[in-house]
Structure 1
Amino acid sequence: MLFSLTIIAVVLGLVILVQWRATTREAAADAAYPPIGELIDIDGVTVHARVQGGGPDLVLIHGASGNMRDFTFDMVDQLADRYRVILFDRPGLGWTDNLPQHAGAWNATAATPHEQATLLQKAADRLGVSNPIVLGHSYGGAVALAWGLLRPDETAALVLASGVSEPWEGDLGWQYKLTGSAFGSGIVIPLVTAFLPQGFIRASVNAIFAPQDTPDGYNDHIGTGLALRRTSMRANAQQVNTLLPEIKKMVAQYATLTMPIELVHGTADTIVPLEVHAAIATPQLPDAILTTLPGIGHMPQHVSQPEVVAAIDRAATRAGLR
């Protein structure tokens, strides 16, 4: 009996330690990286949005594990002189709430690209967004495609930067399988939030930029601690883990996307490979142009920014906005 009570006490103590440590790190991240835009209530869900500049509307949608700060690092400044740039945090990430039906420590369901696009479109309506160009990076490319499918006559153009657009073979690795499960969500993610070393986080960001270097100051600007909060880790893992069947559904509808579409993709992207995604998607899209970037990895909006900005400008011209 005494042994059993000791075990229970130890386990309880570990649970308390993990929760305290995770809560402390989350509070530090929240304090260091507060909202940089406005918080909009959409049917009880808070959406973090930022508007900058003037001109035709341009919506920017970030990728997995990210937030709108990815674009405010320096890209928005290259666009705000001729576009009204609208940035959103996707559901569950940054300062946007997860959709309530997908929230919770033991929930393994995820907001689909269509559900995410629907929420962000409602926020865009609140901001008076009209006939936008919609750019999506990485996972955000799937959300941009869903945006176009939901509003084909009210979307001027799409731009996919290293965008996820096609089904892929194999799985995404045991990490996503584990953290995207109910068990991983409830047990593993709190441990990661509490104890993952900062050095591991920076190494992960470096891997995302490879073979290019991470720009100086990027880690400090984007707020990697925001992505390590339990709610954000759960939302991200579940969204990525459940993306494949949603992409398979979307591909069958690509022929209906008749607006101008620009795809920009690096040949050295190993996270969302060119030959699996943009190279296959381009001929499936009625009015698509693919720009390949030799030797460029997964983050062209930073390491090949002129080419991405040029794609946006081409999309605007092709859509009659310039």
Structure 2
Amino acid sequence: MDMRRYLPALGLAILMVTACSSSQSLAPGTRSVVSAPVRVAHTRLGAVGYRVIGSGPPLVLVMGYGWTMEGWDPRLVHALALHHRVVMFDNSGVGRTQELPQPFSVDAMADQTSALITALGLGRPDVLGWSMGGTIAQALAVLHPAQVRRLVLCATYPGSGQAVIPPVADRQAASDFPANQASALNAFKAAIAEYPPAPAASSGTKGIQGLAMSDWQTGSDAAGRQTARISAPTLIADGTSDQLDPVANDRTLARIIPGATLVLYPDAGHAFLFQDWTRFAALVNSFLAGNPRP
């Protein structure tokens, strides 16, 4: 995730898992992911572009800063869609999704996500958010708790106003994948290249997303200051080599959210969920199935 525009007594279980490089070609079945049509939901907060893959209990994927939904690794999406009706969508101002009015915030993006859930009749879905998407997922769980059954937060940030640890590398040089995981990075690039071409988020949209993230990290969003109220079972995960979101932030978030489980992937970066998509998909599917310990 290109984060260069960013400014810098509760249950906690910490698990360490072994990371592996994913150098495989596209997994069988991913064609159904990349060929799924882009649809438009007309919500109370404007049009939202989305795709749906699979069947079963609904699972909403919330994308991060500056990315379109074509950034979701189709191998990971397919593995999740074997057990869930997966909904992925574009955030405000990206693709076919209407831009929200000012003042723009993470809380406002959570409201738009809520409006999509209502428009699609998803009821109380599971929600997985990556990076900025993880902050939106937190805000959704605070502001619209009846719409979140279980919560998965990937490489994301607390919004309580507590000190957020800045990136450990220069933002211009930071990478989603560790330097020794070039094969995993190349496999990820090849996987997302299978989607039909989609227009990138504009520089203006990236700019206001970056400002919204800065506000979240400094505690400006009401939901960010109330994450201790999250009642949904929560899984937090990240790579120990994340250059953009040091794991200290994940530990802080896991202390704030009651009963949260924190899983760390050694030798993995901000895009750990794509670097080790097979194990992460198994972890998520197990957690969403209600297993007490992933």
| TM-score bin, normalised by smaller chain | 0.7 to 0.9
What aligned pairs does 1:89-100 form with structure 2 within 5 A after superposition? 89-99=90-100
- C-alpha distance in 2 between matches for 1:135 and 1:76: 11
Tell me, yes or no, if structure 1 residue 284 matches structure 2 residue 256: yes
Q: Which residue number in structure 1 is paired with residue 69 of structure 2?
A: 68
Aligned to 2:28: none
Q: How does 1:154-303 map to 2 (within 5 A)?
A: 154-166=147-159, 167-169=162-164, 207-211=175-179, 212-213=181-182, 214-216=185-187, 217=190, 220-221=193-194, 226-227=199-200, 229-246=202-219, 249-275=222-248, 277-303=249-275
| In structure 2, distance between residues paired with 1:118 and 1:46 | 13
Greater RCO between the two (CA within 8 Å, min separation 6)?
Answer: 2
Counterpart CA distance in 2 for 1:222 and 1:168 is 38
Helix, strand or coil at the partner of 2:252:
helix
CA 1:242/1:130 → structure 2, altered by over 3 Å: closer, same or farther? same
RMSD value, Cα: 3.2
Query: Separation in 1 of the partners of 2:291 and 2:121?
Result: 19
The aligned residue for residue 133 of structure 2 is 140
SS at match of 2:175: helix
The answer to whether the 8 Å contact 1:93/1:236 transfers is: no
Letter in 2 for 1:208: D
Match of 1:77 in 2: 78
The 3 A distance-change label for structure 1 pair 58 and 66 is same
Following the alignment from structure 2 to structure 1, what is the Cα–Cα distance between the partners of residues 55 and 137? 21
List per-residue Cα deviations over 1:205-232 (Å, max 9, x = no partner).
x822233332342564578983353443
Which amino acid in 2 is paired with 1:267? T
Q: Quote the Cα distance in structure 1 between the aligned partners of 2:270 and 2:191.
A: 15
Kept after mapping to 2: 8 A contact 1:118/1:147: yes
Q: Structure 2 CA distance, aligned partners of 1:140 and 1:224?
A: 22
State the TM-score, normalizing by the size of structure 2. Answer: 0.74
- The one-letter code matched in structure 2 to 1:90 is N
In the alignment, the residues of structure 2 paired with residue 53 and residue 92 of structure 1 have an alpha-carbon distance, to the nearest angstrom, of 26
Q: What per-residue deviation string (whole Å, max 9, x for no partner) do you get for residues 6-57 of structure 1?
A: xxxxxxxxxxxxxxxxxxxxxxxxxxx9994112222462211111111111
Structure 2: distance between partners of 1:119 and 1:319: 30
- Give the stretch that moved more between structures: 50-59 or 88-97: 88-97
Secondary structure at the counterpart of residue 218 of structure 2: helix
Q: TM-score, normalised by structure 1?
A: 0.68
Relative to 1, partners in 2 of residues 1:237 and 1:223: Cα closer, same or farther, differing over 3 Å?
farther
Q: Deviations over 1:160-190 (max 9, x none)?
A: 1112225445878xx99xxxxxxxxxxxxxx
What is residue 13 of structure 1 aligned with on the other side? none
**Counterpart-to-counterpart distance in 2, 1:153 and 1:126:** 15
As a proportion of its length, which structure holds more helix? 1
Instruction: Tell me the alpha carbon deviations over residues 263-311 of structure 1, each in whole angstroms, 9 at most, x when there is no partner.
Output: 1111100101111x21111122112111111111000221021332133
Give the CA deviation at 1:143.
Answer: 0.3
Is the Cα contact below 8 Å between 2:240 and 2:265 reproduced in 1?
A: yes
Q: Distance in 1 between matches of 2:138 and 2:197?
A: 26
Amino acid at match of 1:285: I
Unaligned runs of 5+ in 2: 1-33
Q: Which runs of 5+ in 1 are unaligned?
A: 1-32, 103-108, 177-202
Percent identity at matched positions? 22
Distance in 1 (alpha carbons) for counterparts of 2:234 and 2:116 = 23
